[in-house]
Amino acid sequence: MIDPSYGALLIGVAFAIFFQGVLTVQAFHYFSEYPDDRMRNKILVSFLCMLDFVHLVVIFKGEYGALVTDYASRGVIGIEPMEINLHFVFTGVSCLVTQLFYLERLWIFSRRNIMVLLPILVIAVVPLVLNFYLGAICIKNTILNEHWKTTTETGVMFVTGAVSDALIALVTWYYLGREKTIFQSTRNLVTRAIIMVLTTGAATALVAIATMISFFSNSASFTYTAIHLQLGRTYTIALLANLNSRRIIRETGSDDGCRTAPLQFAHTAGTGRVTGDFAASRAVYVVQQETTQDVGSVILNDSASTSARGSMEEKPHAKV
């Protein structure tokens, strides 16, 4: 009984400590490499790091109480520590805040398309609500075998979390793919951004799916809880990986930009957008100069500037 319960939690806490170390290194790298980044990003990273640290302290206290303070007490066997149940709240907040960051970037990629953003936002909010709901239920009733009564809510929480991650990654991939041109440097820039988006989105979705599989295969143990303890930190690490990758993407564009030259300038009929190597070269230039600027902002600025240039070129023809 100890192995599948507190043994599993002990392993989960150990992994949480490891991932907290990875998170700390990523955060240190972020603040060292991007001292002039937007204040909003700095506040976001600081908040998530503090939230995950407090989460680690809480779950460590719960495991310490079960294995040390209440050691050999038969009354606690089969009872999930209250501190462990509180992790639902921390995980829900961490996941939603991180997804809001991705949704803001998707808002830029989609050129403020509310019809694209709103459905994903609704799906992303569902896990937060269910995390709070399940946390309250587990705190009131910590008997392990009673967790079977919440299988529907738990399944919906895991599924919607994984679906929202997948949707954000796939829709972002779609919009980034539309920006590819014959300009080699921009193609490499967009390709690297797509790889980063898909990789980080897959990582968080896989943790949610693994937790769901563990819960439905054996909810009579704490194995699913041990996996779920890693979810919030996985989101934060993925976000930091995205932020820290901007300089690498910029340097890649810089290297490729030295070896390529613009070849043509084309209009996209019916969309009002201007694509081609003028936009591509400006995208690379902006990424080279503004290392703190997201790829989505670069794309949006390129479209605006190239559209303005197209309008200026059309005016002399109108006068003739």
Is residue 49 over pLDDT 90? yes
CATH of the domain spanning 2-71+79-253: 1.20.1070
User: What is the mean pLDDT of the segment spanning 248-274?
Assistant: 47
Over range 257-271, report the average pLDDT.
Answer: 41
Residue 251 pLDDT: 65
Model pLDDT, residue 297: 52
* Tokens encoding 208: 């949610």
**Looking at 45-49, 177-181, 238-242, which range is the least confident one?**
177-181
Least confident of 15-19, 201-205, 302-306: 302-306
39-48 long-range contacts, Cβ below 8 Å, gap at least 24?
41/243, 41/292, 44/97, 44/101, 44/239, 45/239, 45/240, 45/243, 47/97, 48/94, 48/97, 48/98, 48/235, 48/236, 48/239
Whether the per-residue pLDDT at 158 is higher than 60: the answer is yes
Question: Chain-centre distance of CA 274, in angstroms?
Answer: 30
State the average pLDDT for the chain.
74
Q: How far apart are CA 278 and CA 284, in angstroms?
A: 10
Region 173-199 average pLDDT = 67
Please tell me which residue, 138 or 307, carries the higher pLDDT value: 138
Q: Where are the domains of the chain?
A: 2-71+79-253
User: What confidence score (pLDDT) does residue 284 get?
Assistant: 37
Is 173 within 8 Å of 197 (Cβ atoms)?
yes
Q: Which of 23-27, 123-127, 288-292, 304-308 has the highest mean predicted lDDT (pLDDT)?
A: 23-27
HEC string of 237-304? HHHHHHHHCHHHHHHHHHHHHCCCCCCCEEECCCCCCEEEHHHHHHHHHHHHHCCCCCHHHHHHHHHH
The mean pLDDT value for 206-220 works out to 82
Percentage of the chain lying above the pLDDT 70 cut: 64
How do residues 74-125 score in pLDDT, each as one tens digit?
555 666 677 888 888 899 999 999 989 989 888 888 888 899 899 999 999 9
Q: Could you give the CA distance from residue 98 to residue 236 in angstroms, rounded to a whole number?
A: 7
Question: Cα(166)–Cα(191) distance, rounded to whole angstroms?
Answer: 18
pLDDT of residue 226 exceeding 80, the answer is: yes
